[in-house]
Each structure stands twice: as C-alpha cells, then as structure tokens.
Chains A and B, each alone.
Chain A
Amino acid sequence: GAVVSQHPSRVICKSGTSVKIECRSLDFQATTMFWYRQFPKQSLMLMATSNEGSKATYEQGVEKDKFLINHASLTLSTLTVTSAHPEDSSFYICSAITTDTQYFGPGTRLTVL
C-alpha cells in the first residue's frame, strides 16, 4: 500500500519556540493532505485540509496563525506550530489521499515544556 511518512516522530521543545512537522507521501502524489490532532486516549480531530498550491482550509476553532500549513509540492505538507505552549502538546497525524483511499502517517509526538 501507499506510504506516508512524518518527521520528526517525536519532538520536545521549550515554550515559545516554533516546531515544524513534515508529512510526505513516499510513493504517490497527493494534492490533498489532512492534519489531525489526537489527545491522549481521545479521538482524532481534524485540524485542517492542506491543498497543494493553495491555502489550507482550517476547521472551526483551529487558529490558522498558530498552526501554519504549507503544501509546497505534491509529496510534502508541513505543519508549523508557532510559539508553542504546553497546551499544544499532542500527537499530530497527517494523512494523504490517493485516488480512492486516505493513508495515514505514523504521527509526531510533540511535547512542549
């Protein structure tokens, strides 16, 4: 099946710093990628839809200036958590769309101290 990677898998940062998370489709091109957030023992909540070559579409309640999304190529989308705070600590998961299926990355564990 199709493979989606995320980098880094785990990151620890200080409060106030920015963190960039990469999502790559390794063996297919994806015009659309999604970014989800998952709190411990909870479900995945969609944050935004990332479209190649255009602005991301954010879900209600998600701060677009806080969570910057860039989809610069058909195989790469990045999520930058700006001025991170402890409440941003979470598991971030991306997914990429092929013609008929959504494939998920392995996730990135962000811990903000």
Chain B
Amino acid sequence: AQSVTQPDIHITVSEGASLELRCNYSYGATPYLFWYVQSPGQGLQLLLKYFSGDTLVQGIKGFEAEFKRSQSSFNLRKPSVHWSDAAEYFCAVGAGQGGKLIFGQGTELSVKP
C-alpha cells in the first residue's frame, strides 16, 4: 500500500537550534517526494521536492532534505530554526511531478524563544 508516515505529531525546538522532521514512505514505483509547509488557516507552500539526482536537495527558507532509498526516508532539516518557522509540515509522495499526492499526517512545529 502507498503511504507516508511522519512519526512525530508535534515537535518543539528552541529558536536557533537545528531541526529534523522525519518522513518515511511506502511506494511501489519510483517516488516523487515533496515537503510542504502550512501556516494556520492557509494553503500549502512547497519547500522542496526530489525527483532524481543528488539525494540532498535544497529548498526555500533554508530547508534541505535528504532522500535515502535504503531507509525509504526523506527527512527535512534546517540548521537554525527561526520563530517564523512555526507551522505544520507535510511530507508527500506522488507518481510524478504533476500527479496526485499522498500526504503524511503532518508534524506541527513549535519554536521556543
């Protein structure tokens, strides 16, 4: 079955600390992987995506993610978190760049001053 798992429902980090949000997927074909961020009551903004090539991808707002095929993971990282990063983060997998997506449950990030 195709699925995306984000094991952490809620994470709290201090401002300036590093961040890693976990994402594991189960997908029958070559996955197209995405990370989106959602602020309260808002739509989704694409942070980064991976289709092929270099397994470490850079995104907007200082985020990066690493694709590890052997672990079926696509974890999101940021070296230094800012208070404005507090939001809900969703990992998603799809069959192509413009295909329908399967989303994980989301991880809510809180940032302590």
Chain A residues in contact with chain B, CB under 8 A? 4, 6, 32, 34, 41-46, 49, 91, 93, 95, 97-107, 109
Say yes or no: B98 contacts A101, CB within 8 Å.
yes
Can you report 29 A-B residue pairs in the complex whose CB atoms are below 8 A from each other? A4-B43, A41-B106, A42-B106, A43-B90, A43-B106, A44-B103, A45-B103, A46-B101, A46-B102, A91-B41, A93-B43, A93-B44, A97-B98, A99-B97, A99-B98, A101-B46, A101-B49, A101-B98, A102-B97, A102-B98, A103-B46, A104-B36, A104-B43, A105-B43, A106-B42, A106-B43, A107-B41, A107-B43, A109-B41
Partner of B42, one of A34, A45, A103, A107: A107
Which residue of A has the minimal Cβ distance to B97? A100
Contact with A along B37-75 (1 / 0, CB 8 A): 000011111100100000000000000000000000000
Which residue of A has the minimal Cβ distance to B106? A43
Residues of B within 8 A of A103 (CB): 46
Chain B residues in contact with chain A, CB under 8 A? 36, 41-46, 49, 90, 94, 97-98, 100-106, 108
How far, in whole Å, are A104 and B100 apart by their CA atoms in the complex? 12
* 10 further A-B pairs in the complex, CB-CB below 8 A; given A104-B44, A105-B43: A6-B43, A34-B100, A43-B104, A44-B101, A49-B100, A99-B97, A102-B94, A102-B101, A106-B42, A106-B43
Residues of A within 8 A of B46 (CB): 101-103
Say yes or no: A100 contacts B100, CB within 8 Å.
no
Residues of B within 8 A of A42 (CB): 105-106
**Given known A-B contacts A93-B44, A107-B43, A109-B41, A44 and B100 have beta carbons under 8 A apart:** no
Residues of B within 8 A of A99 (CB): 97-98
B60 CB to closest chain A CB, in angstroms? 10
Say yes or no: A32 contacts B98, CB within 8 Å.
yes
Residues of B within 8 A of A4 (CB): 43
Say yes or no: B98 contacts A98, CB within 8 Å.
yes
Residues of A within 8 A of B104 (CB): 43
How far, in whole Å, are A6 and B45 apart by their CA atoms in the complex? 15
